[in-house]
Amino acid sequence: MDRQEALETLFGPGRERGPLRPESDHLVDAAQGAELRVRFHAASPEDPMILSFPGEGEVASDYDGEGSILVRRELSLVAAEYRGTGGSSGHRDPGALLDDAAAVFGYVKGWREDHSFTGPLILMGRSLGTAAALDVAARFPGEVAGLILVAGFSRPKALVEGLGLSADPLGITEEEGFGNLEKIGELDIPLLVIHGQEDEVVGLIESMTLHQHSPARSKQLVVVPRAGHYDLQEKGAGPYYDAMAEFAFKVAGRRIRRPRRARKTRRAGKKKLRARVQEIEVRSKPKF
């Protein structure tokens, strides 16, 4: 596999067509004249905000559904992109990923200040985005309130080989890679790690290793049963979003508000359970 094929596997086929959304899309200036799109799904200014760095082949629009769900849960989401993908200009380049992530973080931080968004800023990285989120957290200590890693990797080899790639065309080595394991070992901020039990690309052991090496006093590992790499949100929608919301509100020091429909569903479930228990008790009464 040559470099071009490897880049397409890691970052997707390239830019998508269509205009930007002026009400939610912003362009961030980056090195070599690239412009990086970020898409805002804003809740209230006092609500927690999650800055998300995507997985391989994903763009900002892939997070529109997730953004809507999180806003209903009183969480803001900012979906970032990598250069040369989605609505972002420039050429796809693994070597620019970390510096670009820092530029996006700086822009979002400034935007929050300009618009008086005071809720805690939490970083999230999915798969490839794990490297971006960890690097930003390490570069800006004290400015990140929490960290969420989804289907993360401790070694670049685990991700590259899981995607069926060779590290050589991309210039990624263990020695000169992203340093995820070293960085997480220096971060004492609240941590949430989410991974699919049956992830076919990045094994569960990778997230377990990241969780184990974190010195954070508050950390949690959520394993979603029967979920793989690409259907984690679908198969684990309940645990996935519940864990994310509970984590964000804990970081904010606020009590979580669950969606009304979810509360009704739980009440109905408890009512059915009580009815079922009563039925079992009736059936089990001794006959005289």
- Span 104-159, pLDDT tens digits: 999 999 999 999 999 999 999 999 999 999 999 999 999 999 999 999 999 988 89
Mean pLDDT within 52-62: 94
Report the alpha-carbon distance of residue 42 to residue 49 in Å, rounded: 8
CA 194 to centroid of chain Cα atoms: 9
Q: What average pLDDT is seen over the chain?
A: 86
Element (H, E) at 36: strand 35-41
pLDDT of residue 2: 54
pLDDT of residue 39: 97
The residues, any chain, with a CB within 8 Å of residue 6's CB and separated by 6 or more, are 165, 166, 169, 170
Report the alpha-carbon distance of residue 93 to residue 11 in Å, rounded: 9
Cβ-contact 63, 97 below 8 angstroms: no
Say yes or no to pLDDT of 56 above 80. Answer: yes
CA 24 to centroid of chain Cα atoms: 19
> Residue 44: what residue type?
S
Which of 247, 235, 171 is closest to 197 using CA atoms?
Answer: 235
Length of the chain in residues, anyone? 288
**Helices 64-72 & 237-252 angle (0-180, nearest 10):** 60
Report the alpha-carbon distance of residue 249 to residue 75 in Å, rounded: 9
pLDDT of residue 9: 82
Other Cβ atoms less than 10 A from the Cβ of 132: the count is 28
Q: What is the pLDDT of residues 188-246, one digit of tens each?
A: 999 999 999 999 999 999 999 999 999 999 999 999 999 999 999 888 888 899 999 99
C-alpha count within 13 angstroms, C-beta hemisphere, residue 123:
31
Report the alpha-carbon distance of residue 25 to residue 61 in Å, rounded: 10
Apex CA 61: angle with CA 170 and CA 238, to 5°?
Answer: 100
Report the alpha-carbon distance of residue 138 to residue 153 in Å, rounded: 16
Q: What is the pTM of this model?
A: 0.86
DSSP 3-state assignment of 15?
A: strand
Kindly indicate the confidence band of residue 12, based on its pLDDT and cuts at 50, 70 and 90. confident
| Structure tokens that stand for 24 in this block | 């939610």
Report the alpha-carbon distance of residue 267 to residue 20 in Å, rounded: 42
**145: exposed, middle or buried (C-beta count within 10 Å: 0-12, 13-18, 19+)?**
middle
What share of the chain has pLDDT > 70, as a percent?
82
Report the alpha-carbon distance of residue 117 to residue 266 in Å, rounded: 32
DSSP 3-state assignment of 255?
A: coil
What share of the chain has pLDDT > 90, as a percent?
68
Kindly state the DSSP code that residue 16 receives in the 8-state scheme: P
More confident: 102 or 171: 102
* Beta bridge partner(s), residue 220: 192
Report the alpha-carbon distance of residue 240 to residue 221 in Å, rounded: 11
